[in-house]
Amino acid sequence: MNILGHLSWGAIYFASEWIIRLVMLIVVPFRRSPEAAKGWLLFVFFLPWPALLLYHVIGRPNYPRWRRERFAKLPAAFAQVTARIGALSACQEPELPGNLQQAATLIQNLGRFPTMDGNDIALLSSYDGSVARLVADIDGATNHVHLLYYIFADDRTGWSVIDALARAVERGVTCRVLIDALGSRAWAPRVVAALAERGVAVYLVLPVGLLRRKSARADLRNHRKIAVIDGRIGYVGSQNIVDADFKPGIVNQELVVRVTGPVVQELQGVFVADWFMETQQVLESHELFPELPRTGNAVAQVLPSGPDYPEASVGRLIEALVHGARRRVVITTPYFIPSEALLNALSTATLRGVEVHLVLSKPVDQILVSLAQRSYYSQLLAAGVRIHLYRDKLLHAKHLSVDRRVSLIGSSNVDMRSFVLNSEVSLIIFNRDVNAELRAEQERYFATSEELSLETWRARPMTSKVIENIARLVSPLL
How confident is the model over 317-365, as pLDDT tens digits? 999 999 999 999 999 999 999 988 999 999 999 999 999 999 999 999 9
Cα separation, 277 vs 420, whole angstroms? 19
Segment 280-322, tens digit of pLDDT: 898 878 899 998 899 999 999 999 998 877 666 789 899 999 9
Segment 164-210, tens digit of pLDDT: 999 999 999 999 999 999 999 999 999 999 999 999 999 999 888 76
> Is pLDDT above 60 for 4?
no
pLDDT category of residue 105 using cuts at 50, 70 and 90: confident
- How high is the mean pLDDT of the chain? 89
Other beta carbons within 10 angstroms of residue 205's beta carbon come to 23
DSSP reduced 3-state for 411: coil
- Of 339, 454, 317, 466, nearest to 399 by C-alpha is 317
- Of 255, 236, 254, 235, nearest to 245 by C-alpha is 254
- 8-state DSSP, 306: B
Distances, alpha carbon 212 to alpha carbons 208, 216, 217, 374, 423, in Å: 7, 9, 11, 39, 21
